Structure 1
Amino acid sequence: MHTHTITALPDIPYATPKLSSSRENLIRAGDHLWRVQDAAGRILGHLRIAAEPLGLRFRAERLHLASGAFRLIGEFWTADEAVQTLRYLR
């Protein structure tokens, strides 16, 4: 009897997405995760890249401090749309 061992491939970090606006800055927080900071240095939320069959999606998330879990605000086709959502939901 022959058995196959499946090994997981390592996560490959994505390049930091380019934003069309200079109102926010992205600070890497993981291979697929960035903190979204405004010009004053306040953290507005997080941007996460998720690979899906139709392409990359950009998730706007907020950290829920009480639970320590991220809460999904929305999922978008561009980083600009995701960051814009965090900008207006303060």
Structure 2
Amino acid sequence: MRLVAAAPSLWRVLEPGGRVIGHLQEVAQAGGIRFRARRYNPTAHAFRDLGDFWSADDAVECLVFAR
């Protein structure tokens, strides 16, 4: 997987072939920085949050396994 900056605190998560599988968003919380896994839902024309994680690796893993 590869991360490509999309905006401040936001990255696109790409498969090795270049297909976007979701987004990783950095979210500041009282306990520190969390990483939100997000996937676009074309039917709803909106992003769906899959969860918040303490590590970017865990958030990316969530996107990989939620395909």
TM-score (normalizing by structure 1): 0.70
Cα distance in structure 1, aligned partners of 2:42 and 2:11: 17
Gaps of 5+ in 1: 1-23
Count residues with an aligned counterpart: 67
Structure 1 CA distance for aligned equivalents of residues 56 and 20 of structure 2: 16
Identity of aligned residues (%): 45
Q: For residues 41 and 22 of structure 2, what CA distance do their matches in structure 1 show?
A: 10
- Structure with greater strand percent: 2
1:6-85 aligned at under 5 Å gives the runs 24-85=1-62
Q: Residue 85 of structure 1: CA displacement?
A: 0.7
Deviations 1:18-61 (A, max 9, x none): xxxxxx11111111111100111111110000000100000000
The ranges of structure 1 where at least 4 consecutive aligned residues each deviate by more than 6 angstroms after the TM superposition are none
Task: Kindly report the root-mean-square deviation, in angstroms, between the aligned alpha carbons of the 2 structures.
Answer: 1.0
